[in-house]
Structure 1
């Protein structure tokens, strides 16, 4: 398999990813992918061996593309959480920024097809389930555990902290994973900047209250 990196392979990955996000793996043909990416059908075999190799490469690229999100969230903890030093308002600011970035990473227009594909993989796991879990979701979950642990004083590996971290992560992701349901229930025609702002405010305030930091809510810190 050729190392994906050329403009041709990247175009195929982007095209295939969007198609796989909207339809099941078996419903998307290599011929359709090649036509949509404007490449010769043989290019798929050349770069990825087969459709399964292409599907796997799509998830590997998603993990690479989401690396800035993981780095950004880790830096928030490294810089802001370390400096908080038991200051409740500083903790609240860190939580607000962290949750805001997490929501953005899930629901921004450029990541939505990726979230749809991740949802499909979660619902019908293949070998790629472990790629997205180990490469991205586990990392975010662990970072949330560190944040909650610092504020609560419990171990980041305790069941309570891990469950709370999972609850927060699941709720943040559900706005992207269940976009159509959210729009239907909220009466939105789209989830644009103003809707995303409202989601971030709601999520940040909910998480702050769950961490007993409700008295430190400051909407001006929402990014």
Structure 2
């Protein structure tokens, strides 16, 4: 799962642009309300009337901007998901050192946690889709998660001197990802045991840096094993 903030801060380049129209603001309010309600209740139990009321918008606006409830649900994921190629570019570069690649990999993974007030809403929406799939989660796997996993495998093969991956390299890639998944889906546990470790963006960045250290050690251990196997 890779996501981007839905309400980015205004950059200096944007300061001279016109304020968003009432229509654009209404569309964004609908998206935020839909993300929250879909995440809390699921797709089937959330009505368009309920979303419109929460967004302080006319229910007809959903049809105008999104077509129907399914279109709105799809738009929620489109709004928060970063294209796989953008995520991959953060870690799969031929000139990157192993450490640079691993750091970039974790940076794109923790992006949802750095989305400020949107983070909880975005993550809850993904969890709900995983628990009650409508088909979007499967597309997310095929369009984003699978390509990103294969890109990480390419990186590992490059740094381990392998022409093609074996099951061991795939296991290594899964293990590297799994260390970060704890941050994404185990937040309640972390907040109960060591809340300070995810209390601020700086704390999250520190954790990601430590994961880079751990992942680098795993790759080096795998390299040693491969070298010993050749003797």
Normalised by the shorter chain, which TM-score bucket?
Answer: 0.7 to 0.9
| Residues 1:26 and 2:44 aligned together | yes
Counterpart of 2:173?
Answer: 165
Q: Residues 103 and 62 (structure 1 numbering): CA distance in 2 closer, same or farther, change over 3 Å?
A: closer
- SS for the counterpart of 2:193 is helix
* Gaps in structure 1 of 5+ consecutive residues: 85-89, 215-223
- SS for the counterpart of 1:40 is coil
Matches within 5 A, 1:26-105: 26-63=44-81, 66-67=82-83, 70-71=85-86, 73-78=88-93, 82-83=94-95, 90-95=97-102, 97-105=103-111
Q: State the 1:199 CA deviation.
A: 1.3
Are the aligned partners of 1:13 and 1:57 in contact in 2 as well (CA < 8 Å)?
Answer: yes
Counterpart of 2:113?
Answer: 107
TM-score by length of 2: 0.72
- After TM superposition, where is structure 1 displaced by more than 6 Å over at least 4 residues in a row? none
* Gaps in structure 2 of 5+ consecutive residues: 1-22, 223-231
Supply the distance in 2 between the matched residues of 1:104 and 1:94 (Cα, whole angstroms): 14
Number of aligned residue pairs: give it: 198
User: Which structure carries more helix by proportion?
Assistant: 1
Counterpart of 1:128?
Answer: 136
TM-score by length of 1: 0.74
Tell me the alpha carbon deviations over residues 125-174 of structure 1, each in whole angstroms, 9 at most, x when there is no partner.
22111232233222322221122121223355533222322232233233
Supply the distance in 2 between the matched residues of 1:155 and 1:105 (Cα, whole angstroms): 31
Supply the distance in 1 between the matched residues of 2:41 and 2:164 (Cα, whole angstroms): 38
Supply the distance in 2 between the matched residues of 1:125 and 1:163 (Cα, whole angstroms): 26
